[in-house]
Structure 1
């Protein structure tokens, strides 16, 4: 039979509803509701073999047919025509983490059920037509019923964000089963919710029936279990993203207002569990915490969780007590689905915003500073705290490495003068911004100029302005520019919650980015009037090169992941994958630490040599103008080579992207020759490598670099 021939599952059952048709697969616990018009298609194709065209011919909406076919195949409601469903079903049950070898009917009270919770999802024709249009993202959900309830919100939010999200849910089980599930699913992101009923039922629901010593003992057991579970998850994922739930505190305590009087009250139990989860996750760079506690702080426990009605340890979403079906109200599912996708975006650096451009008068402060000054800072009005909150949020972004610039109508001399005079009265000073554009030109022109000076595209920039006319003008003139809509008092929340403004774990390089960017701009000003070599020598550029150690892997991965201009192959990776790659024979990773007389730019270069080929090379845009790429490459190749002659035949590859123009001549500049049309370059004559001593930048080994070296 053809690989493109299908049939409906032998386990399919259907129920015609008032508002559609329900399709279900009992053994796999899958179900979906289609619009009522699909009843004829399902009826006519049941029991026969068909292809995609035949399916589309009978579909009530031809545009929706591919999306419906995909959704039914993912749920095993439609299978390949030659599929042995019974054999596949037996293999699937054996391979799933919840298959722990015991009879579920004889399982101890509180163990994980093997069932499907929630109402069946509905796939409308409109949603089916949009399915498959975006990037495919596979999400493996390992946990209880709460994680099941996130599946449909994940699909819906994914469509809104241009993602084709595909989910699989499994109940937790032995570590070996978890690893098998990861291998089978090959997920882009895996969500792990620690066992709620096996752990929290005994820890929370029985808290008032035992003394502090017993509570401490149960807490210690759960910590040990969490340590093992997180370690097993990290190992199974092999570097792909994993999200670990922590635990939201119940809205109520069995000890009431005297919870503080218990040595191990509920508040302490939750705090210690979450601190322990943080510690476990922190040691694995490819894991993140899904902070249920923060969601409760933002949305309210009563809106998300059920312990106002259900027992403490049930830990499900808020419920309608009049509905007897296993269900939850949708708020928690939506909140968690949003967190999962935000974590994935932050981890990947997808659509990262690198520059925030803010208006001044009416936005960063009330009124017109040149006319009104800053007396508002000394008051206690709502507007004072509102604008100080915006200042603080921008300061937080600066510490993360996001650059700040101003773009405002007015007189630059007057505005900056009164701002400088304000001294420490304001959280942000003019020096916290890399560039100022305060004039009477259209704001779109000023933002375009800022992008040109800093090397950004509009889609890497967020614009804040209180005036909707100015926002509309900038958005119309600069396609892709992110523009904050709504009132000024909503800007702070946007700045502090957007995943596009989170650049991973904080690093020293990120905290110094404003200073190093300013130094880059000063270099550009100095360049006029000097030839290239004289200019570089005047800067006293130093490149310290060393083989990477374990402490450098996170930063090296960040460079490979987030460098779009000076990157030879645009290779994306993570610290764990780098660690595995470096264990291969003949593989080495070098890092470069760059400084000049204007500043120390930190660890800004990474070069990976693997199997006799430079497979990845990345250099931060902050040091592109210092001509350090060739010296870094040569020093990295010579390290441990045993003489230049041993480098003969070494290769390097360029993978052309729409933004890596600065890197395309790297190997040619270093003496390699092009070896075909596929971007391969070969060093046929090592004598063509430039002599480091003849270059206008100083290259130091790690030993010569001293304690500040990489």
Structure 2
């Protein structure tokens, strides 16, 4: 970008606002961005075309800022079309090209579609945004494009979502519209779609049981199902459904009981929504009631203020425009008590729900997913130093309840065991004498052993007097994971800071042991989308892999060593009969989690996998392997469509055992290809070195950088 000349787009307009900020509007796309006065000054700087390199140094001097955030800010403004490298004539021609389909059709309608596909933000009346500053601009690790379909409760959350995403290192781009605007899902590619509460929620609490056939949720759930079907016809992106908030007041009070009470009708609807979501692949329910309840629903819901089913925020009343007071003859109580009740933050509801929505997005999209939790021992798994206390605990039923002080540590053990069941690996580092720790790490018969960790639960241990950061690096090397796949827990501030400084990609916890159990159980980076059989067995399989590596290191002849393992590889093509949801879930999980032997980095939703499996030109092949040390399960995937291998993935657990040959042979030998050749692609990353020679080693010929081809089906299978 340093060689280009930038100018302000001919379609970029600035409107100065009373608070000193400005509104940047793209006249054609209708993209709107509230910006600070310094960003507005930056935009106006390019009223005259200026070379990027020259502008960077001049703007740094004018704004008194470092060049790097200015560089990133200029990139964002260019990405949004407010700055451009094009001259006015070229820009106009390209815009006209984007509107070329107006020929023979209503140009107003087509312009509206053009705007919608490039829109960012919410309906202007409900747009709540803090101005973007130069300091806000930074490099992000991830980008998520999301479509919000809902009313004011969801649309007002747009900017809060963006800022919550920024806090997590994510560049989130949100377009928002009304629930009826499902067509927007087909006009722009989205990473996810979020549906807010529908208007038919008012029907849930209307009438007696006989008026709705005994099922108060039916109308609402039918509405949601219709909407899901429309969206699924347009997009395969994961869909998040907002559950309904649980009411804080009952219209008929204590007397309103039973399954058809006001509150229970909402609860039954949420349960029905959960069951509806499970009937679809890649549709998930957001537990709105739990998110608001945890933060204190009374201050976040207005059913105690204005309406039983509006389910907005009481804080909105503090933000209403003054002209709406005409409805009450311009007479209204002092709103200070309401402000006090809300703690001075009229938009806490939006912030709470933005966190809840980002948690689900991070989980569903696998952003920053952690594969291994590394824990310190002394002070985390037990109180004090084990070598000094002589035992993990001095507990017995005669001393206290298991939920007393000792329960804090039992709870941490239990949380880590639950992570293990989710497929998260456990490892430990401790400055200690290993023989002493292993000898003393024992529990009496009266202990709840099913809730407590033993050394056998850990795939790697580093119990020595070495530097913890170095020990963590050695665990990463042994497991073959990148550092950002780990979370480290230590009660020592010095050790935490040492690891943060030496290994900045590792997430670190341990500041508050009282919050640790909840953090481990709720962190979205530690949440699988679904539990699979392979996930529950992952620790045992990784241990077998490490044992195999140690045996390999002791043998000089690799080929002889592999032969001694008695490896059995089985490849199966998925069809309508065997492509069950657990199998497809495992396929999607493996493709998303694998970074080393991953040819293209492309991931797939369950719906995409099912469509490819069902298509005449589509194929999904899965590889299962076992040897004398372990049954490794489903460890390889090849996804093929119209003669192109869209991705080829092999678990790091079985690299070096020849599984890739068996899988690729099955792809090449499959009958029924309509394409004369089979093509594959290698998209190089800093982590996928093991897959780089996949096609070259198996008879494919390079046709372009990263692209390979061979004849299909069987004539090259044993090249």
Give the one of 116, 123, 126 matched to 2:131. 123
3-state SS of 2:655 partner: helix
Alpha-carbon distance in structure 2 between the residues aligned to 1:453 and 1:39? 51
Determine the structure 1 residue equivalent to 2:342: none
CA contact (8 A) 2:668 2:716 kept: no
Shifted more, 136-145 versus 59-68: the winner is 59-68
Report deviation, 1:8.
5.5
Answering whether residue 154 of structure 2 is matched by residue 147 of structure 1, we say: yes
Alpha-carbon distance in structure 2 between the residues aligned to 1:267 and 1:15? 47
Report deviation, 1:496.
1.9
Determine the structure 1 residue equivalent to 2:560: 534
Match runs of 1:33-432 below 5 Å = 34-35=35-36, 61=63, 63=70, 90-91=109-110, 116-118=124-126, 120-127=128-135, 130=137, 135-173=142-180, 177-178=181-182, 180-195=183-198, 198-204=199-205, 206=206, 210-214=207-211, 216=214, 218-237=216-235, 239-259=236-256, 261-319=257-315, 321=317, 323-325=319-321, 329-370=346-387, 371-373=389-391, 374-376=393-395, 378=397, 379-380=400-401, 382-422=404-444, 425-426=448-449, 427=451, 428-432=453-457
Report deviation, 1:184.
2.3
Unaligned runs of 5+ in 2: 117-121, 325-338, 340-344
Give the one of 565, 570, 573 matched to 1:547. 573
Determine the structure 1 residue equivalent to 2:706: 678
CA contact (8 A) 2:600 2:647 kept: yes
CA contact (8 A) 2:612 2:620 kept: no
Give the one of 626, 629, 649 matched to 1:598. 629
Report deviation, 1:302.
1.8
CA contact (8 A) 2:200 2:223 kept: no
3-state SS of 1:375 partner: coil
Report deviation, 1:145.
0.3
Alpha-carbon distance in structure 2 between the residues aligned to 1:213 and 1:685? 63
Determine the structure 2 residue equivalent to 1:702: none
Alpha-carbon distance in structure 2 between the residues aligned to 1:529 and 1:115? 67
3-state SS of 1:601 partner: strand
What do the CA deviations read for 1:55-77 (whole angstroms, capped 9, x no partner)?
Answer: x8999859466656766959xxx
CA contact (8 A) 2:374 2:426 kept: yes
What do the CA deviations read for 1:394-421 (whole angstroms, capped 9, x no partner)?
Answer: 1121111110011112222232233244
CA contact (8 A) 2:668 2:717 kept: no
Give the one of 470, 478, 492 matched to 1:467. 492
Distance 1:19 1:399, change over 3 A: same
Alpha-carbon distance in structure 2 between the residues aligned to 1:556 and 1:135? 23
Report deviation, 1:30.
8.2
3-state SS of 1:666 partner: coil
Report deviation, 1:245.
0.6
3-state SS of 1:569 partner: coil
Determine the structure 1 residue equivalent to 2:525: 500
Alpha-carbon distance in structure 1 between the residues aligned to 2:663 and 2:569? 7
Report deviation, 1:23.
7.0
Distance 1:334 1:616, change over 3 A: same
Alpha-carbon distance in structure 2 between the residues aligned to 1:462 and 1:434? 15
Alpha-carbon distance in structure 2 between the residues aligned to 1:94 and 1:683? 43
Alpha-carbon distance in structure 1 between the residues aligned to 2:680 and 2:43? 55
3-state SS of 1:604 partner: strand
Report deviation, 1:511.
0.8
Report deviation, 1:258.
3.5
Distance 1:117 1:495, change over 3 A: farther
CA contact (8 A) 1:141 1:170 kept: yes
Determine the structure 2 residue equivalent to 1:571: 602
Report deviation, 1:218.
4.4
Distance 1:345 1:641, change over 3 A: same
Distance 1:257 1:661, change over 3 A: same
Determine the structure 2 residue equivalent to 1:704: none
Report deviation, 1:287.
2.1
After TM superposition, the score normalised by the length of structure 1 is 0.80
3-state SS of 1:342 partner: helix
Shifted more, 462-471 versus 342-351: the winner is 342-351
Alpha-carbon distance in structure 1 between the residues aligned to 2:702 and 2:74? 48
Report deviation, 1:637.
2.7
CA contact (8 A) 2:668 2:713 kept: no
- Taking CA–CA contacts closer than 8 Å with sequence separation of 6 or more, which of the two structures ends up with the larger relative contact order? 1
3-state SS of 1:505 partner: coil
Determine the structure 2 residue equivalent to 1:434: 459
Distance 1:522 1:199, change over 3 A: same
3-state SS of 2:383 partner: coil
Distance 1:322 1:294, change over 3 A: closer
3-state SS of 1:123 partner: coil
After TM superposition, the score normalised by the length of structure 2 is 0.80
3-state SS of 1:630 partner: helix
Alpha-carbon distance in structure 2 between the residues aligned to 1:450 and 1:284? 39
Determine the structure 2 residue equivalent to 1:703: none
Determine the structure 1 residue equivalent to 2:687: 659
Alpha-carbon distance in structure 2 between the residues aligned to 1:368 and 1:4? 64
Distance 1:182 1:406, change over 3 A: same
Alpha-carbon distance in structure 1 between the residues aligned to 2:125 and 2:385? 57
Determine the structure 1 residue equivalent to 2:334: none
Alpha-carbon distance in structure 2 between the residues aligned to 1:186 and 1:343? 19
CA contact (8 A) 2:140 2:170 kept: yes
